Amino acid sequence: MRFQTLDGLRGILLTSMTITHFKAMTDNPLIAKVGYTRLGYVDAAHGFLFLSGLLMGIVFGARLIRKSADAMMTGVRRRFWTVAGYHAALTFAVTICVAGFAADPGRLQPQ
């Protein structure tokens, strides 16, 4: 069960958070104009977490109703380990890139 509109909104919020992080690292005026943290009344991070929790509740709540609590928890655990695995792989890849390709890792420290 996918909600493309809500998934798209999550993508917009995630992109906004990424741009906001880049905005903190550069003085580029284009990023300053494009990056924004607030979308109306919702902060990008809060909106993303709210929508993620809402969608998780909808999807796994339906599994709880259709099947059982054990089936729901199995799905929640599988989803957790999938996200945790991607997070660990991305963290490892970024660490290797920074350590391997930076001529002077000390210059990566903020002034």
Bridge-based pairing state of the strands 42-43 and 38-39: antiparallel
Q: For residues 93 and 12, give the distance between their C-alpha atoms in angstroms, rounded to a whole number.
A: 24
Q: For residues 13 and 37, give the distance between their C-alpha atoms in angstroms, rounded to a whole number.
A: 9
Q: For residues 21 and 9, give the distance between their C-alpha atoms in angstroms, rounded to a whole number.
A: 19
How confident is the model at residue 52, as a pLDDT?
Answer: 92
pLDDT band at 16 (very low <50, low <70, confident <90, very high): confident
Percent of the chain at pLDDT above 70? 75
Round to the nearest angstrom and report the end-to-end CA distance of the chain: 47
- 13 versus 106: the higher-pLDDT residue is 13
Q: Which has the closest alpha carbon to 47: 91, 2, 8?
A: 8
